[in-house]
Amino acid sequence: MGIEVNNLNAWYGDLHAIKDINLNIPKNQVTALIGPSGCGKSTFLRCLNRMHEVIEGARVKGEILVDGEDIYGSNVDPVTIRYRIGMVFQKPNPFPTMSIFDNVAAGLKLNGMRNKKKIREIVEQSLEAAGLWDEVSDRLDKNAMGLSGGQQQRLCIARTLAVNPEIVLMDEPTSALDPISTHKIEELVHRLKENYTIVIVTHNMQQAARVSDNTAFFLNGEVIEYNTTKHIFSNPSDQRTEDYITGRFG
């Protein structure tokens, strides 16, 4: 399932954070959002699953179509949207008082699922999909905070996958991780795009080049350039894009 963004604007109070964004994000591909700090990447990402509006004073204007439906339509439940469009945050955020198993099962139980066999199947499938099952299968009842940072991030990805989203958003998911854990997450992203549409914010140009099919360069709340990642990194159309990816600013 792809995403069509039309004339999207977002504000924090009087601050106009993103301006007239128009993007078509393809299904079953990885789209990277790059640009300097404060340029609107994370705001745009939060708009894609209606998390922006939970911030006091924040508002959105424009249209985001998922499977032809405007997620900002008057009859659309934002909670349902957040299940369909999952989010993985910059810092791993497992529920600290819960076991590994209960962390992954949390969304299922919140949705009213009570079939223990079904829950167990989904937890195992989600941990497998997140590349974590082999590492934790013998300690599912242990507290999730006992996992390493990289394992915690993959646990959060498993928790996101458990509720069967169509789209997965990732906000700098490896910025707090060591190189080995980063590599595992990047490999995971490659595998996940077979089943999910993925949008990832990253400050790491090499990571964007490695993991994404398409790249959007944000600057001062606007999309300066959007194209295939190969085109953006080898032959950008805008001088500002070239200046950013070659390290002249940002």
pTM of the model: 0.94
**pLDDT averaged per 10 residues in sequence order, the chain, 250 residues:** 94 96 97 96 96 93 95 93 94 95 95 94 96 97 96 97 96 93 94 96 95 98 98 96 89
Q: Does domain 3-93+165-245 have CATH number 3.40.50.300?
A: yes
What DSSP line would sit under 123-179, residue for residue? HHHHHHHTT-HHHHTT-TTSBGGGS-HHHHHHHHHHHHHHT--SEEEEESTTTTS-H
Q: What is the rounded CA–CA span in Å between residue 230 and residue 227?
A: 8
CA 247 to chain centre: 25
The pLDDT score that the predictor gives to residue 249 is 79
Alpha carbons within 13 angstroms on the beta-carbon side of residue 216 total 24
The pLDDT score that the predictor gives to residue 248 is 86
Residue type present at position 190: H
The pLDDT score that the predictor gives to residue 88 is 95
The pLDDT score that the predictor gives to residue 176 is 87
Check residue 221 and report its DSSP letter: T
In this structure, are residues 214 and 205 in contact, taking their beta carbons and an 8 Å threshold? no
